[in-house]
Structure 1
Amino acid sequence: MQNKKITVFSATGKIGSELIGLLSAAGIQTIAVSRNPEKAIRMPCVQWVQADMSSRESLYKTMEDADSVFLLSGHSHGFVEEQSNVISVARELGIKHIVKLSSAAADKDSPFLIARVHGEVEEILRNAGITHTLLRPTGMMQNWLGELAHSVKTEGKIYDATGEGKRAYVDIRDIAEVAFRILLQPEPHAGHSYFLTGGTAVNYGEVAETISRITNQNVSFVSLNIEELRQRMQQQGKPEWVINTLLAYTQLQRDGKTATVSTDVETVLHQPARTIEDFFRDYKNAFLK
């Protein structure tokens, strides 16, 4: 197992950094790819490489002698081209397996931009002839460490327009552990798509109750309508395409279409997915006033 060599893209991001830590601790030779590797924490067995996914030429050094690749990148206007470049170069270099971090709603015919571009890349990957596994996570708990944590700390409130709609949020640490297991032993997972969720679907009223209980402070959920949330995001300076995408997913949750719970995390890890209670206990300090 230690003779494997694995390439991880977006290695300084939330999921990538968790995955790099697991690979390093296991003694796996890892090529960690980032546009800004100088910001990275140095770890045993990890070689940091700077590359731009929009440049095919810069990608060859990132996958040299690698067995498997973890494919992840930020959402940008060049998303499909960038991930397609990685897949193309991986095929040329004889990469044996690609684990792609996708979207729970991935569909090349989707009206939603993020779902559509992930669906397009999934089709490119299927047609490339490389064995692969697709990871399709739902909403990620660690996203709560941004605006939500700030409003909890400063106002004791959570603002959202999802109403009573529920989602089975997943912990990024579980996503990274699933990717880690598959990268080390990809054969049983070849051709599989895993829908990664937590074990229970919750709404933001229940999230507020959980934070209140764990932090011993009063946190309430302020239910906005869609236009109120749009105005709030505009005031925060979010780009219009980001706002439109987030509001589309907000509407789906508001309409009760995102409450599906999957056991795929437990199937791969042989242990239950982390709960929101686990998350808020571990990140308690981020939500204290």
Structure 2
Amino acid sequence: MPDNKLPRILITGATGQVGNKTIGFLKNNNEVEIIAAVRSQEKSRQFKKKGITTVLLDFDDELTHAEALKNIDRVLIVTGYTVDMLRQSKVFLDSAKIAGVKHVVHLGACGPDNTTVAHWAWHQLVEKYIESAGFSFTHLRPETFMQNLLSYGGKRVVRDGIFNQYVENATKSWVDADDVAQVAALSLLHPELHAGKTYRMGYDAKSYDDIAEMLTKMIKKPFQYQPQSPEVFLKSMQEAGADMAYMHCVYDHYKRYAAGTIPGADETFDNFQQITGSNPVSWETFIKKHKAEFDYH
């Protein structure tokens, strides 16, 4: 790479939660060039307004890959919630290898290396493919996103202080998507520091009853968690037209959370300070940050 050429970073999932926040962390850095991958010209407008270059990329259309990956040095790969993620990732990574991409940061899912939760394991298969292809890599494995309590599938989760989830009274490990994006950004900026690393990211263990109690105290209005059967989730996903191969896996892992049969479901990690130099967001901080969104009338 010529000395006068800035490293070019392609952000897939650029309009999504983590991809968009990663761009936010990187956009004012003058040591790299950021390129946002979008599926349509319409979605490119929000980035062009901010002076961010865009390319058209459709994971399902391999004919878009070569142009999108032209002169790209590093990639953040973020796939959707369908079983197609396996094929999409494999084909995209093959294209990235041909294009000369050096470093891949992959947004995966929870779990230790020996996880038996299906969709978590799928992400680990993608990780192994990245490694076998010879890329320099950083694997991100976030636990449950705190943002899932604000909205899920485009719908508000907490309504008039009441929210439903499908894991009984299980304690889960949580992470703010902002923290995941910050680690993604640093891994893309400094691959020499983060190459070969797998970062499990969960920093506050709470049950939904714990969170309801914290919300009640901090918002000064009553909040209540009302657990529902995982069957309710499955039916809602069917009605929403979601990819059921993937959602059956989510349904199964909700049942396992509820039964307490996911080892280490409440495990937290101490790597964030070392990676970023700051403390991860706790539930208390998250509620303060999103107080207006949790509040109701």
Common topology (TM > 0.5): yes
TM superposition score normalised by structure 1: 0.89
What corresponds to 1:189 in structure 2? 194
CA separation in 1, counterparts of 2:51 and 2:191?
20
CA separation in 2, counterparts of 1:139 and 1:282?
18
CA separation in 1, counterparts of 2:292 and 2:5?
36
* Structure 2 gap ranges (5+): none
What corresponds to 2:20 in structure 1? 17
Aligned length: 286
Which deviations, in whole Å up to 9, do the C-alpha atoms of 1:80-118 show, x marking residues without a partner? 1211122111111221100011111376x8654412321
Written as runs of structure 1 = structure 2, the 5 A alignment for 1:69-80 is 69-80=75-86
What corresponds to 1:89 in structure 2? 95
Confirm or deny that 1:133 pairs with 2:149: no
- Give RMSD over aligned pairs: 2.6
Confirm or deny that 1:209 pairs with 2:213: yes
Confirm or deny that 1:157 pairs with 2:162: yes
Q: What's the CA shift for 1:75? A: 2.2
Q: What's the CA shift for 1:232? A: 6.0
Which deviations, in whole Å up to 9, do the C-alpha atoms of 1:235-269 show, x marking residues without a partner? 76655445422222223332063011012222211
What corresponds to 1:123 in structure 2? 128
What corresponds to 2:293 in structure 1? 286
Query: 2:89 aligns to what SS in structure 1?
Result: helix
What corresponds to 1:251 in structure 2? 255
Which of 253, 262, 269 does residue 269 from structure 2 map onto?
Answer: 262
CA separation in 1, counterparts of 2:96 and 2:240?
39
Query: 1:76 aligns to what SS in structure 2?
Result: coil
* Structure 1 gap ranges (5+): none
CA separation in 1, counterparts of 2:177 and 2:152?
17
What corresponds to 1:114 in structure 2? 119
Confirm or deny that 1:168 pairs with 2:165: no
**Higher mean C-alpha deviation, range 78-87 or range 172-181:** 78-87
TM superposition score normalised by structure 2: 0.86
Query: 1:279 aligns to what SS in structure 2?
Result: helix
Q: CA separation of 1:273/1:80 partners in 2, compared to 1, >3 Å: closer, same or farther?
A: same
CA separation in 2, counterparts of 1:96 and 1:65?
11
Confirm or deny that 1:59 pairs with 2:65: yes
Q: CA separation of 1:207/1:233 partners in 2, compared to 1, >3 Å: closer, same or farther?
A: farther
CA separation in 2, counterparts of 1:53 and 1:238?
18
